[in-house]
């Protein structure tokens, strides 16, 4: 939609408020509302001021004034407000220079799309993430000086087979046995369908919904691929819809990668393909039916994967998932069909349009604009420098011996390790001024000071089990 169409759209839908949404640095939507009377064509030029120092990872207090500029193409009616409300995703600009704000994640993704086109390599970058999540019936947690605990619960939790539920009807998926069961074992089908219908009302193309592998309400809903920035927008709407549909059904949804112990965590397998003039560029006559460009893209992605993890697996909890034994792709190798490799070439279809690269390492705790852009920039570096990915690893990597795996690189063991990899390897992100040194250094500082160091200071319940009686 253009500006005049947005104004007409708001009027047709009886909008009384306008909700302005934008993303903070770590990756959570922020918003504020204004009355519909302020919505005119000048508003899309002038924007609206706000305090940038109160947004995580952004401005110092002495330079806090910032502007949101609504993107008319993002207009939707918010499905969860009681009063009819027009929702607009915004870009952030400096009020003095009117330049796009370099720490605005959406701006970084927009620069990436422009950079690809400037290279002449492609004109469209498609991303298709598969974001998994848990739906719980109850969640409690606390951290004080002398106390720390968490507790999640689900009627589906396998640990509840003996609980008095008045009556307990059983049908609880066992650990690692939650993939594709029908009702009554899958108790969340109607809830996921409600989520799908809300997503479709917002204009998103949903391909499938299903229960996932873990016990206790792990789910997946798959959206059809879309261009980079559009998919960043879509994934933020996706999280918003999933959480709010769960809440109105008196449940809670989380995209935390590893909320329960001893079962599979939630990943976000991310499919990528490059196109030009309507032609898919990753189809060819090389291994698994891909092009030389696709292999070079894989080469760049594998070379920089440990640094990319700092954005694609951006929480300390991400590395509770990236461990052996739970289907997590910790080995930085590539293969066709093989889900034990970090990079997979799906083989569902022989159509050239279906040829793509699947990076299986990311998880849904990431900031999607930054994660997708980092993946893209790593792959572009591979294309530009013709990086050979080496031989594919067409084996069950999980079953290989330590000796066979000794030369296969691994994902980082912790967020701290991923951040150090990014510190040492980020030149590829700076090309085309897509990322800046300020963005990278701010990300490193924020994650270390706000997440890694605070986590390292706190004892955990398991440490009491291990060490209290020493």
Which among 182, 170, 251, 252 has a CA at the least distance from the CA of 211?
182
405: part of which helix (H) or strand (E)?
helix 402-405
427 is catalytic: no
**Dist. CA 166–CA 163, nearest whole Å:** 9
Place of tokens 């620069």: 111
DSSP 8-state symbol, 172:
-
Candidate list 220, 222, 263, 363, residue with the active-site label = 220
CB 290 within 8 A of CB 349: no
Of the residues 186, 358, 381, 451, only one is catalytic, namely 358
Nearest Cα residue to 396 out of 312, 467, 324, 461: 324
Residue 294 phi/psi, 5-degree rounding, is: -65, -40
Q: Cα dihedral sign for 309, 380, 69, 87?
A: negative
Instruction: State phi, psi for 119 to the nearest 5 degrees.
Output: -75, -20
Coil, strand or helix at 248? helix
- The single residue of 130, 186, 222, 363 carrying the catalytic annotation is 130
Choose the catalytic residue: 132, 156, 186, 233: 132
> How many C-beta atoms lie closer than 10 Å to residue 115's C-beta?
18
Q: Give catalytic status of residue 356 as yes or no.
A: no
User: Which of 175, 344, 356, 360 is labelled catalytic?
Assistant: 360
Of 368, 365, 364, nearest to 221 by C-alpha is: 364
**220 is a catalytic site residue:** yes
Which residue in 113, 212, 222, 381 is the catalytic one? 212
339 assigned to active site: yes
Active site annotation includes 113: no
Annotated catalytic residue 51: yes
- Residue 130 designated active-site: yes
User: What is d(CA 85, CA 398) in angstroms, rounded to the nearest whole number?
Assistant: 49
Find the catalytic residue in 31, 210, 339, 423. 339
Give yes or no: 360 in active site: yes
Strand boundaries in 52-123, DSSP class E: 65-70, 76-77, 85-93
Secondary structure (3-state) at 215: coil
> Residues 453-461: contacts with CB within 8 Å, 24+ apart?
455/316, 458/143, 458/148, 459/148, 460/148, 461/148, 461/149
3-class DSSP assignment, residue 169: coil
> Contact, 34 vs 108, CB < 8 A?
no
What CA–CA distance (Å, rounded) separates 45 from 453?
Answer: 42
Catalytic (active site) residue 165: no
Q: Which of 76, 192, 251, 269 is catalytic?
A: 269
In angstroms, rounded to a whole number, what is the distance separating the alpha carbons of residues 317 and 150?
13
Distance CA 333, CA 363 (A): 18
Q: Which residues are catalytic?
A: 51, 130, 132, 212, 220, 269, 339, 358, 360
């Amino acid at each position: 939609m253009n500006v005049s169409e947005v104004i007409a759209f708001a009027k047709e839908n009886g909008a009384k408020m306008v909700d302005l949404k934008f993303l903070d640095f770590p990756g959570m939507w922020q918003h504020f509302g204004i009355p519909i009377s302020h919505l005119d064509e000048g508003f899309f030029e002038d924007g609206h001021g706000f305090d940038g120092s109160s947004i995580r990872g952004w401005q110092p207090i002495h330079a806090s004034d910032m502007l949101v500029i609504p993107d008319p193409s993002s207009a939707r009616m918010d499905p969860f407000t009681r009063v009819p409300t027009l929702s607009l995703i915004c870009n952030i600009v400096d009020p003095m220079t009117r330049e796009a704000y370099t720490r605005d994640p959406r701006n970084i993704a927009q620069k990436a799309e422009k950079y690809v086109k400037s290279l002449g390599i492609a004109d469209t970058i498609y991303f298709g993430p598969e974001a998994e999540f848990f739906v719980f019936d109850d969640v409690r947690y606390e951290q004080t000086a002398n106390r720390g605990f968490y507790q999640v619960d689900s009627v589906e939790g396998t640990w509840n087979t003996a609980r008095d539920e008045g009556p307990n009807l059983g049908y609880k998926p066992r650990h690692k046995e939650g993939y594709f069961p029908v009702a009554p074992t899958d108790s969340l089908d109607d809830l996921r369908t409600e989520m799908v219908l809300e997503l479709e009302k917002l204009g998103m193309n949903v391909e499938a919904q299903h229960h996932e592998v873990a016990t206790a309400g792990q789910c997946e809903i798959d959206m059809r691929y879309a261009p980079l920035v559009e998919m960043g927008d879509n994934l933020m709407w996706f999280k918003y819809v999933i959480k709010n549909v769960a809440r109105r059904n008196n449940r809670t949804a989380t995209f935390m990668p590893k909320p329960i112990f001893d079962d599979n965590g939630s990943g976000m397998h991310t499919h990528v393909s490059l196109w030009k003039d309507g032609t898919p560029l990753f189809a060819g006559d090389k291994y698994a039916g891909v092009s030389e460009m696709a292999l070079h893209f894989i080469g760049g992605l594998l070379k920089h994967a440990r640094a990319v993890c700092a954005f694609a697996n951006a929480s300390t909890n991400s590395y509770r998932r990236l461990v052996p034994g739970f289907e997590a792709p910790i080995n930085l190798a590539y293969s066709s069909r093989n889900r034990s490799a970090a990079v997979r070439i799906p083989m569902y279809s022989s159509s050239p349009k279906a040829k793509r690269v699947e990076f299986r390492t990311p998880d849904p705790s990431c900031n999607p604009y930054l994660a997708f852009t980092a993946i893209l920039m790593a792959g572009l570096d591979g294309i530009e420098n013709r990086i050979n990915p080496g031989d594919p690893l067409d084996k069950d990597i999980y079953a290989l011996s330590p000796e066979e795996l000794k030369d296969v690189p691994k994902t980082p063991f912790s967020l701290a390790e991923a951040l150090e990899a990014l510190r040492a390897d980020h030149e590829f992100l700076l090309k085309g001024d897509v990322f800046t040194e300020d963005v990278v250094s701010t990300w490193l500082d924020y994650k270390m000071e706000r997440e890694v160091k605070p986590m390292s200071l706190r004892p955990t319940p398991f440490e009491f089990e291990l060490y209290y009686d020493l």
